[in-house]
């Protein structure tokens, strides 16, 4: 009889746990959703970390990740109102200037690791130091003019290309830039298309493994960029409290990841694998050198400063209408950060 009672007790406990678990699942599915647009590089990894930890559900909302290959298609999706918060770098200039997005937080270094590559037998590779002020750059007007460059337009890589061309005495109109997303550009260049290709991680690491040469390191060009969080103005007011909670979690995740190198590299490796890229340990270690901004650091950073500088550069080079620079006075807003740093 005692055994029967114990059996009924065990069954009752299991049923209670099952019902409780079902209630939690039901509750989480009923939570308000925040659609977060991310790219499968380091900047998107803290969002994935938050989801894995379940911090969003703990805070009473659910992150719906929306993954894009680069900032350009992310901006197209913003027009269609397909996300509430997006994380990107130079493409944020277009988001603010053309689509009224709000720059609400700076989150991580973005330029480190980018590359503009040529094949080892390229004539571009045979010229170094044409501009003595930028002595590490490869190429000169004679070797680069008329070249076909594979590059996703509207991204930091396009800025990278333009800055390199400028420093070796050329304009964007002196070359042919063919728009391709990074994966497509990498495959096309590998197949023999184009003369020059602009790549981001992990493709820039694959390029180095193949012996392709980086003609213009971002540090040599003094391109300092941050990935920032941008809010969709159409949904901002309705989701403001959720966006505040989400931004707090981003800095919490950044703090965890920055203080533990092994954790950061493991999470980055998992994030790449989740998006179909098996990146080797050395490349992961290089990519993980990019700094994730912590809450302590962000308190001393002027919000959106790199975004504003990029916008001014794009206006100076004719990529952005000068009349739209005023958007960067009104749409870089600290309304979220004031709540985050309280």
* 250-263 per-position pLDDT tens digit: 999 999 999 999 99
Whether 126 and 229 map to the same domain: the answer is no
Whether 251 and 291 map to the same domain: the answer is yes
Give the confidence band of 17 by pLDDT, cuts at 50, 70, 90.
very low
Burial class (CB within 10 angstroms; exposed 0-12, middle 13-18, buried 19+) of 75: buried
Which residue, 168, 190, 214, sits at the end of a domain?
A: 214
Does 49 reside within a domain? yes
Encoded tokens for 99 = 């689509």
Whether 275 and 193 map to the same domain: the answer is no
Does 92 reside within a domain? yes
Does 85 reside within a domain? yes
Whether 99 and 242 map to the same domain: the answer is yes
What is the pLDDT averaged over residues 34-51? 96
Whether 199 and 249 map to the same domain: the answer is no
CATH number, position 134: 3.40.190.10
Q: Could you give the CA distance from residue 189 to residue 191 in angstroms, rounded to a whole number?
A: 5
Does 244 reside within a domain? yes
* Structural domain count of the chain: 2
Whether 272 and 328 map to the same domain: the answer is yes
**DSSP one-letter code for 325:** G
Which residue, 158, 181, 214, sits at the end of a domain?
A: 214
Domain that residue 184 falls in: 115-214
* 272-313 per-position pLDDT tens digit: 999 998 888 888 988 898 899 999 999 888 999 989 988 998
Which residue, 195, 214, 233, sits at the end of a domain?
A: 214
39 contacts: CB under 8 Å, gap ≥ 6 = 67, 68, 69, 70, 71, 74, 87, 88
Whether 282 and 243 map to the same domain: the answer is yes
CA distances from 269 to 4, 112, 205 (A): 50, 17, 14
Torsion of the alpha carbons at 170, 172, 178 and 179, rounded to the nearest 10: 130
Whether 336 and 230 map to the same domain: the answer is yes
Give the confidence band of 101 by pLDDT, cuts at 50, 70, 90.
very high
**DSSP one-letter code for 230:** E
Asked if 276 contacts 69 with a C-beta cutoff of 8 angstroms, the reply is: no
Whether 165 and 197 map to the same domain: the answer is yes
CA distances from 135 to 110, 114, 139, 308 (A): 23, 18, 11, 27
Whether 190 and 233 map to the same domain: the answer is no
Does 3 reside within a domain? no
The pTM of the full predicted model, rounded to 2 decimals, is: 0.76
Asked if 310 contacts 225 with a C-beta cutoff of 8 angstroms, the reply is: yes
Maximum average pLDDT range among 25-29, 44-48, 111-115: 44-48
């Amino acid at each position: 009889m005692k055994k029967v009672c114990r059996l009924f007790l065990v069954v009752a406990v299991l049923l209670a746990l099952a019902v409780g678990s079902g209630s939690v699942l039901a509750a989480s599915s009923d939570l308000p959703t925040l659609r977060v647009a991310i790219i499968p590089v380091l900047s998107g990894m803290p969002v994935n970390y938050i989801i894995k930890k379940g911090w969003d559900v703990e805070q009473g909302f659910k992150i719906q990740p929306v993954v894009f290959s680069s900032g350009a298609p992310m901006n197209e999706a913003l027009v269609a109102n397909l996300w509430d918060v997006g994380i990107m770098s130079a493409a944020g200039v277009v988001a603010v200037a053309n689509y009224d997005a709000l720059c609400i937080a700076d989150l991580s270094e973005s330029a480190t690791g980018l590359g503009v590559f040529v094949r080892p037998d390229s004539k571009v590779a045979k010229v170094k130091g044409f501009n003595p002020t930028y002595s590490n750059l490869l190429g000169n007007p004679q070797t680069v003019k008329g070249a076909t460059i594979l590059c996703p337009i509207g991204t930091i890589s396009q800025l990278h290309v333009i800055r390199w061309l400028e420093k070796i005495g050329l304009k964007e109109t002196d070359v042919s830039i063919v728009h391709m997303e990074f994966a497509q550009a990498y495959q096309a260049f590998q197949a023999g298309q184009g003369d020059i290709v602009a790549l981001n991680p992990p493709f820039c690491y694959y390029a180095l493994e193949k012996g392709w040469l980086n003609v213009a390191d971002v540090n040599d060009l003094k391109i300092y960029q941050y990935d920032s969080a941008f809010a969709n103005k159409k949904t901002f007011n309705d989701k403001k409290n959720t966006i505040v909670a989400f931004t707090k979690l981003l800095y919490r995740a950044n703090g965890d990841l920055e203080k533990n190198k092994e954790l950061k590299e493991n999470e980055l490796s998992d994030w790449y694998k989740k998006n179909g890229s098996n990146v080797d340990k050395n490349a992961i270690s290089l990519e993980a050198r990019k700094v994730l901004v912590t809450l302590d650091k962000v308190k001393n950073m002027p919000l959106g400063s790199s975004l504003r500088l990029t916008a001014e550069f794009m206006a100076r080079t004719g990529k952005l209408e000068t009349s739209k620079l005023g958007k960067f006075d009104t749409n870089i807003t600290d309304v979220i950060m004031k709540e985050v740093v309280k």
